[in-house]
Amino acid sequence: MARAAKRRVDVSDRDPVGGAQDHPGEDPAQATGDQVIGHLLDLGLTDYQEASRLQVALHQARVQNAIGDTLLLTEHLPVYTLGRTTRPAHVGEGWARGMINGIPVLSTDRGGSVTYHGPGQVVGYPILRLRTYCDGPKAYVNRLEEVLIRALDPLKVPAGRRAGMPGVWVGDRKIAAVGVRISEGVTRHGFALNVANVLSPFAAIVPCGLAGAGMTSVALVTGAALELEAVGLAVIGAFQEVFGLALQKEHVAEWLASTDARPGPIECVNSKGA
């Protein structure tokens, strides 16, 4: 949903429409054949606010062409996040109290309504120059959905889309949410895939503002105890395939120190590659 602020676009689970501004200047991204070389940062288990600070820093670095396109992968400590279309009715008493059943409620600048993040999810935050891959936000959201659908296929999860309801679904139950923000032609926020996380926290909210929408997970659909890392690898492979991007896994601390991104120390509870 396009907002009044200049050069910014919100794309949400409720309204994946709008445009994006391009940023001029020399782009550091390198190409090999038909692929662009990008960076992969696997943060492990993180506090949402710490990961958000990193996103903001990398977004600004990408806008300034200080870094190439980057995918952050993480899972979060329990948290509810509010998108820009969240209404008080979507979160009940959590709207005023900032807490639901002991889980913090945080406002964000992404599109969409409220969702829950917790251990057992694969959460992805692409920091991409949009024009390299898509004509606009609608096409971008479609590609993120396609990444997840392809990643789930070999896991025997019959995932797909529902008309007018962005995100990824298994029948009438949602398995992954998509909510992004695009400013100065560069993406932020992304997707959250339910793998082995508990689903009960979703019952305290109206997920994505969709009343009556049920939630599911990879573990619930398959009945199998899948390793989160294995699902993450499937997501990475599908992401590279859909976006034509060759991701190089970086040592988080060393790579950040070598860039112009200065987010401050990132406190990863269980950082991988850091």
Lookup: tokens for 232: 């993450």
With a CB cutoff of 8 Å and minimum separation 6, the contacts of 53 are 263, 264, 266
Residue with tokens 């190409």: 31
What CA–CA distance (Å, rounded) separates 66 from 133? 19
Beta bridge pairs of residue 186: 129, 183
Q: Which of 117, 48, 40, 47 is nearest to 73 (CA)?
A: 40
Strands (E), 184-241: 186-194, 214-215
- State the DSSP code for 243: H
Three-class secondary structure of residue 195 per DSSP: coil
Helices (H), 28-126: 48-63, 88-91, 94-97
Catalytic residues: 208
Burial of 21 (0-12, 13-18, 19+ CB in 10 A): middle
Give the whole-angstrom CA distance, residue 74 versus residue 1.
26
The tokens describing 37, both together, are 């070389």
Nearest to 128 by CA among 51, 46, 193, 189: 189
